[in-house]
Amino acid sequence: MQVTVNLNLNNADEQELADIVGCEKSELATMLSPYASAALEEYVTMFLGQESFNSGSDWLKYRLFLLILYVFQGRIPNEQAVYKLLKKTTTSSRSLIRAVISKYQNQLKLGIDETIKKLLNNVEVAEG
């Protein structure tokens, strides 16, 4: 199902949002699309009662899980990316990432594997 929305922002908010998501203002609509998909899925899941959450932290884990699926294309983000989006401290972001990986490990298996491969490919071996 395709859903179209309009978002009314002033120039300053547009620029700040572009800085947060890491794009130019002209690219903002395209860059926000995966965030909108994640948010809409969160709402639909809530409306249909498909997930049961006992606390706000459960919702936050689910929200990050959806961001991983839609925004990060299944790859696990680092603490800085989570901090930037959710405004959590680095320590809280790290804990949240670990909690999401633990809770949703089966759904994130491919993304976890891809993240590990990417990290290993970027490792530099010191010559001794």
Residue 11 lies in a domain: no
Q: Assess contact for 68 and 108: CB atoms under 8 A.
A: yes
List pLDDT tens digits, range 2-43.
888 888 999 999 999 999 988 999 999 999 999 999 999 998
**Which domain range does residue 50 map to?**
33-121
How many distinct structural domains can be found in the chain?
A: 1
In a domain, 25, yes or no: no
In a domain? residue 128? no
pTM of the predicted model, to two decimals? Answer: 0.79
Dihedral angle sign, alpha carbons of residues 91, 92, 95, 100: negative
